[in-house]
Amino acid sequence: MTVSYENSKTIFAGIKAAGIRSISALPETWLGPLLQRAEDDADVHLIQVAKEEEAIGIAAGAHFAGERHLLLMQNHGFLAAINGIVSLAQLYSIPLCMLIALRGHWGEPYPWHTRGGIVTEGVLRALGIPFEYARDPQMVGRQIREAYTLSQSSLSPVALLLTRDLMED
């Protein structure tokens, strides 16, 4: 199994078609080709963080600055960012459009990813964060656009879960 180059290209095109030019991220395997595209694109402002919770602060700053911003992270990074999501984004009504690589779920061969994969959906539900699964490359562009729109209209975090079907060939 390798990371899908074609689908990474499609996701990046979807991000740009949604008018997003600012991305915060922490690199991980599935997101690698996507981040490489972001880095190589002179129109896109990519900010890499040391830990995902920082990205919640950066996203808040970008929102205050009036910038269309997107967060890219692995689900374990989402779990590491929860206090920022709750006590900055949700507390202050700040939108977050999060694309989350869903590791440790259906078909996961690596034991170390599994706990995080199994609890991710339950944690999203507990936090009241609306989410969708992205499985189909034909649909993902529209899903990104709609996730962004909902985050802005509801002034809250929204998550699009990038699944194995989409991210691996």
Place of tokens 């699964």: 133
CA 39, CA 72: separation in Å to the nearest integer? 13
- If one asks whether residue 94 binds other proteins (CB under 8 A), the answer comes out as yes
CA 5, CA 151: separation in Å to the nearest integer? 28
- If one asks whether residue 92 binds other proteins (CB under 8 A), the answer comes out as yes
State the nearest-atom distance from the C-beta of 59 to other proteins, in Å.
7
Label residue 73 exposed, middle or buried (CB < 10 Å: 0-12, 13-18, 19+).
buried
Neighbour count for residue 91 (Cβ, 10 Å): 10
- If one asks whether residue 118 binds other proteins (CB under 8 A), the answer comes out as no
State the nearest-atom distance from the C-beta of 46 to other proteins, in Å.
10
Which one of 23, 34, 63, 144 is in contact with other proteins (CB under 8 A)? Answer: 63
State the nearest-atom distance from the C-beta of 31 to other proteins, in Å.
17
List binders of other proteins among 13-52 (CB under 8 A).
22, 24, 45, 47-51
Tokens standing for residue 69: 């911003």
- If one asks whether residue 59 binds other proteins (CB under 8 A), the answer comes out as yes
- Hey, CA dihedral for 22, 70, 116, 101, is it positive or negative? negative
Residue closer to other proteins by CB (options 47, 127) is: 47
The amino acid at residue 10 is T
Q: Could you list the residues that contact other proteins (CB under 8 A)?
A: 22, 24, 45, 47-51, 53-67, 69, 83-84, 87-88, 91-94
